[in-house]
Amino acid sequence: MTSEEMSKQAGKLAAEVISVSVGKLLLRHHYFSPALCRLRLKQGAEYLFTDGRDLSYQPFSVLKKYAKDENLPVHDLLHSLLHNIFRHWDIGPARPELWDAACDIAAEAVILSLDPELCPGDERENRESIIRDLSLEVRPLTAEKLYHFMDKQGISEERLAEYTAMFSADDHKRWYKNSVELEKEPESETPHIFPEFNEQGEKKENEGKEGEAADGDGENQGEEQSDEQVQSENSDNNSMEQWLDELKSAEKEELSKQWEEISKQLQAELEGFAGRRDTERLVDVLKKVNRERTDYRAFLRRFAVAGEVMKPDLDSFDVGFYSYGMQLYGNVAFIEPPEHKEVRRIKDFVIAIDTSGSVSGKTVRNFVQKTYSVLKTEESFFSKVNIHILQCDTLIEDAAVITCEKDIERYIDGLEIKGLGGTDFRPVFEYVDRQRAEGKLTDLKGLIYFTDGAGIYPECAPEYETAFVFLEADYERSDRPELPPWAVKVVLSEGEIDDDD
């Protein structure tokens, strides 16, 4: 039997194994049917890979796994399916190898509680032991929470390698590749699966093209492109790559919304299974990953005020008359866009930071950096602003006034956390009231207070909108005092705080 015939035979057998495995999975857990139907099954280079669109598999690897244990392909299908349900491919943290391990452990924890028989018997005890220990520290055991826990703990390379070897069931490397890299990736990764794309065939085709190019160079010898032509071509290539990346980003966002809907439907169905312990962990994780996330950028816009900037207002500009004038007279337009544009941006604003001993200095720094990254964007930040940044425990420990972007950059660079005592929110509100009375905050729209929530709140509502920003773990603490009814709450995960806009 030739190599080509072996590949075709392996492809047919692997397709049957995958089909049987899908049937077994749905027979055991019918509620995964909508999620599985969303994926296209196809043969690929990796043993198993999913990106929300496809579920690709490598025939020889599937057959090898099936020969070892007929439940292994079922287990690995469920493992990859959970990556989609939890949308693990939609997050690109700073340490991909740590994120991969966190995703695999989170998926495996659900499988062990849902259907432990799918896990290989010789590995089950070790996996259960590790997951049991991690579950004591991270509740619920989601990939995001586990990632930040392991990152903070400073997990060793040896332990990370151990987790990767023990929990990995599929390939993740394409999660981190952009559209341009995928286009450039050679097809020769799968010569034994798709013979028509084998390495030799590609080389022959490329060699022919290279020969033609060489002949062309001979005919046009002495003719060289000008610097302007080269720059123009490079600019066109960069524009095309940028356009492809933007398209890829938009497609990924739409895909994430579709899987979020599937995930929420699954959550609703499972919550109807009262008293079922096997789905308990899955429901807990679904509740966490499907939590309504706060768009911090959009949230800050509610504190913006209207103002004019020197910028063409294309939104109120009739392009039709402009185009008609250019067509009629060549280079004379009937109308030009307005030179001033009205925008809503933050001007007078107060950021208060709880610097009590119960709040981590690193977390405070990350929050200030996160807020700055939002404020410095063109659409959020006036050229001249009046932003007060306060550090407070039981007293105002530091008050900085920001009037321009350079001020806030200097503040970030020299940021030193002061205080670390108890927590009393009232001094901040007293400070703001004094500033307003003195005419130093005449157009104040609001105040945001970053805190763990364990402090003394004012009895009366202020005259301006106030939002208390919590980390998820702090907000869920049982000993946290009740938030006043007049206060707006914003709950962010550590990932949202650490994320760089």
User: Are 53 and 173 part of one and the same domain?
Assistant: yes
User: Are 301 and 173 part of one and the same domain?
Assistant: no
User: Are 115 and 148 part of one and the same domain?
Assistant: yes
Q: CATH no. for residue 456?
A: 3.40.50.410
User: Are 287 and 349 part of one and the same domain?
Assistant: no
Q: pLDDT truncated to tens, each residue of the chain (501 aa)?
A: 788 888 899 999 999 999 999 999 999 999 999 999 999 999 887 789 999 999 999 999 999 999 999 999 999 999 999 999 999 998 766 789 999 999 999 999 999 999 999 987 778 999 999 999 999 999 889 998 999 899 989 999 999 999 999 999 999 988 887 544 444 444 333 333 333 434 333 444 444 444 444 444 544 544 555 555 555 555 555 566 666 666 677 788 899 999 999 999 999 999 888 667 889 999 999 998 888 677 777 787 777 654 444 555 556 655 666 676 677 766 666 566 655 555 556 678 899 999 886 666 677 878 888 887 776 664 555 557 788 999 999 999 999 998 887 888 888 888 888 887 888 999 999 999 999 999 999 888 889 999 988 889 999 999 999 999 988 878 877 777 888 999 998 888 777 776 554
User: Are 274 and 367 part of one and the same domain?
Assistant: no
pTM: 0.65
Per the structure, the count of domains in the chain is: 2
The per-residue pLDDT for 4 is 84
Whether 363 maps to a domain, the answer reads yes
The per-residue pLDDT for 189 is 39
The per-residue pLDDT for 44 is 80
User: Are 269 and 183 part of one and the same domain?
Assistant: yes
Whether 222 maps to a domain, the answer reads no
User: Are 285 and 369 part of one and the same domain?
Assistant: no
User: Are 205 and 69 part of one and the same domain?
Assistant: yes
Burial class (CB in 10 A: 0-12, 13-18, 19+), 194: middle
Supply the range of the domain harboring residue 385.
296-306+345-498
User: Are 454 and 494 part of one and the same domain?
Assistant: yes
- C-alpha to C-alpha distance for 60 and 18, rounded to whole angstroms: 12
Whole-Å CA distances, 313 to 243, 298, 309, 344, 383: 24, 22, 10, 13, 18
Query: What does the buried/exposed string (b/e) look like for 247-264 if buried means 16 or more CB atoms within 10 Å of the residue's CB?
Result: eeeeebeebeeebeebbe
Q: Please provide the DSSP assignment of 41-100 as one string.
A: EEE-SSSEEESSSEEEE-HHHHHHHHHH-TTHHHHHHHHHHHHHHTTGGG---S-HHHHH
- C-alpha to C-alpha distance for 380 and 319, rounded to whole angstroms: 26
E strand intervals along 255-339: 305-310
Whether 486 maps to a domain, the answer reads yes
User: Are 258 and 302 part of one and the same domain?
Assistant: no
